[in-house]
Amino acid sequence: MKLESRLNLLNWTETKPVHSIAQATAEYSIEGEVNGILHSNYTIFYSKYNKEDIHKSTSEFKGYSFFESADNKIMENILFEEQGDFTNGITSGKLISEIANGEYFFNDGKMMITMECS
């Protein structure tokens, strides 16, 4: 069963890139068919870095994200391996674990996430 929810960025902290590589931490709220908080840690590789406007940069990222379920009824707490990219101001990515998988994307100007138990 595929479940869809809205993904909202609560907090983002990122180091300045050194040799095109940066580290970041983020926290997201997930609201919809699945509810909870996603805590993420990333390593980011910038293939194009725009220091005047970072949203005009192009990057790929990998990391780990811990999903903390708000109710544990539909989906329990899960640790995901995460990978994605940021291009033209749009981010998308995949979440992978042994018990569930997910992906996130923009849809009608909203950041959405889908999750599916294995």
Domain spans, the chain: 2-117
Whole-model pTM: value is 0.88
Q: How far apart are CA 79 and CA 84, in angstroms?
A: 16
We find that the CATH architecture of domain 2-117 is: Beta Barrel (2.40)
The mean pLDDT value for 75-83 works out to 90
Cβ-in-10-Å burial (0-12, 13-18, 19+) of 113 comes to buried
Q: Is residue 1 over pLDDT 80?
A: no
Q: Is residue 109 over pLDDT 80?
A: no
